[in-house]
Structure 1
């Protein structure tokens, strides 16, 4: 009983967020990757699921990422229709890593520890005459905010190396 009481006292004195070790860090990544995959399924044109919807920006992404997304939305890479003040801040799909692609195959989500989650999938196989088209690889930095695991940044892997931070690209586009 003394051990149980000591454990409870220790838990109550821990800094906020430290109990989040039990949070599934892969959950927000899986949601985003699977939503994107649904958008790329054959026959899905016209029924696009908004991966960066306002609801998801609040629930699945960190406050800092959402703020960078909103700021960059004011300076999209294309002309806005008259009367609109914001638009999608990318001229490509940042999860699929392109404007064109194939249905996603062999999706794998791996918790690499220390808040890093890697997503691997093949969305280029329809362009390859062989079956060994390279995987698209994204490294997600996941943090805990308000007791929930959220995506704070995304790094595409390019030629085996971590590419540019998508959040930093958004901040630069938003004028930060």
Structure 2
């Protein structure tokens, strides 16, 4: 009887491991939203960091840093609004200008790291600098039983760049 109970417990554990949350899911949604904002025809105008996404796709620490930084928007706000984007560029696309995202790939590198690669510079020209991928490293952790993005690091010249979360904290502290 004990061996039957032990075998049943092992089956439940194995089934639970098979249903582990996909760490690429929040990254895929962020990249899909950003890509939709940069399409050539009828681009969307969705905020990657909108309230519902902040609560659902990002860690509590990242969301808090974003909310504090958004009290210091990069641009003047319409009358009556008190918060806005703290960025004067698109941190996912990597700039203020860009092209439609092409060849999007999302890779689970393990240990909470997910890499997103895409080309969003091809429309600028044929030079080799326009053929290179934009690369973002997402740090994903589990919070409340689901994977959430805790930080984003753009890759610059083959090296991990500055933390987006640290940038948000600096904006909140400096303005």
- Smaller-chain TM-score range? 0.7 to 0.9
In structure 2, distance between residues paired with 1:41 and 1:6: 49
Is 1:31–2:19 an aligned residue pair?
A: no
In structure 1, distance between residues paired with 2:75 and 2:9: 59
The equivalences for 1:1-176 within 5 A come to 1-5=4-8, 7=10, 22-45=20-43, 47-130=44-127, 133-175=131-173
Q: CA deviation at 1:6?
A: 5.2
SS in 1 for 2:136: strand
Runs of 4+ in 1 over 6 A off after TM superposition: 18-21
Using the size of structure 2 for normalisation, the TM-score is 0.87
1:30-57 per-residue CA deviation (whole Å, 9 max, x = no partner) reads: 0000111011001224x41221110000
SS in 1 for 2:165: helix
1:66-95 per-residue CA deviation (whole Å, 9 max, x = no partner) reads: 000000000122233333211111000110
In structure 1, distance between residues paired with 2:74 and 2:38: 22
SS in 2 for 1:126: helix
SS in 1 for 2:10: helix
Using the size of structure 1 for normalisation, the TM-score is 0.87
SS in 2 for 1:174: helix
Q: CA deviation at 1:20?
A: 9.7
SS in 2 for 1:81: coil
Q: CA RMSD in A?
A: 2.2
